[in-house]
Amino acid sequence: MANIDYESISRLNNLSKAPKGKLPFIENDGEIIADSQFIIDYLEKKYNGRLDSHLSDEQKALTYLITKSLDENLYFALVYSRWQCDETWPKVKNTFFGKFPFPLKLIIPFIARRGVIRTLKGQGISRHSKQEVEQICLKTFQALSSLISNKPYILGDQPCSLDATVFAFLAEFILVDLDNTFNDIARSQSTLTNYCQRIYKTYYL
């Protein structure tokens, strides 16, 4: 979106190399920057605000607050839908651990899943029922749908970092090769589906 050349390196061992033990992280000119918000801030500063320079101060404030809302709300619902829901866990387990040798492929997934669920409980999302987590997702998707409405991008005719963030979340619900009730809820919002597919075709095909 910002016309910055990049190379995406997708490896399962990326997580072990991540400075903060979480993805994403980038390496640029010898610097390693972790966490999506710090990455965006770094790129905006280094490349003279290519993505958000057209935004007003109010729009920049909305971008930051909406991004943090998604990070602290929808992110954990997404993790819940992958790691705690029995309907999706088998595919997630095979993706992450399917190539592990026996008996590690039996032991490590159990330990990893238990750790993630413990984190979700500490954060609070898994203290809700599945139906309540689905309701959280539905309200978030409906709010995003209202924000986008009939505009090409969330804040008008040009993309900004908020579009990058929103697309990243929506792609994990709408474009991903998974089927569960959370994906169904997202895909039921035609505005979000059209928005997601439009950005994918524009920037990733």
Reduced to 3 states, what is the DSSP secondary structure of residue 153? Answer: strand
Percent of the chain with pLDDT over 70: 100
Say how far apart CA 83 and CA 102 lie, in whole Å: 21
Domain annotation for the chain: domains and CATH numbers? 1-51 (no CATH), 52-203 (1.20.1050.10)
Residue 17, pLDDT above cutoff 90 = no
> What is the identity of the amino acid at 14?
N
User: Among the listed ranges 12-16, 38-42, 113-117, which one has the minimum average pLDDT value?
Assistant: 12-16
Residue 20: predicted pLDDT: 86
Give the per-residue pLDDT at 50.
Answer: 83
Counting every residue written for the chain, the total comes to 205
Q: CB-based burial of residue 42 (10 Å sphere; 0-12 exposed, 13-18 middle, 19+ buried)?
A: middle
Phi and psi, residue 7, nearest 5°: -125, 125
Q: What is the dihedral sign for C-alpha 110, 111, 117, 120?
A: negative
Token pair for 133: 């987590």
CB 155 within 8 A of CB 59: yes
Q: Distance between CA atoms of 69 and 66, rounded to whole angstroms? A: 5
Task: Give the separation between CA 20 and CA 35, rounded to whole angstroms.
Answer: 8
pLDDT, average across residues 21-34: 89
User: At what angle are helices 130-148 and 190-203 packed, to 10 degrees?
Assistant: 70
Summarize pLDDT for 111-144 with one digit per residue, the tens. 999 999 999 999 999 999 999 999 999 999 999 9
Q: What is the pLDDT of residue 21?
A: 82
Kindly tell me if the per-residue pLDDT of 87 is higher than 80: yes
Please give the model's pTM, rounded to 2 decimal places: 0.90
Is the preceding omega at residue 24 within 30 degrees of 0, hence cis? yes
Buried b (16+ CB within 10 A) or exposed e, 133-144: bbebbeebbeeb
**Is 203's pLDDT higher than 80?**
yes
Structure token digits, residue 22: 């979480």
Confidence (pLDDT) at 201: 96
Contact 105, 112 (CB under 8 A): no
- 38 pLDDT band, cuts 50/70/90, is very high
The amino acid at residue 6 is Y
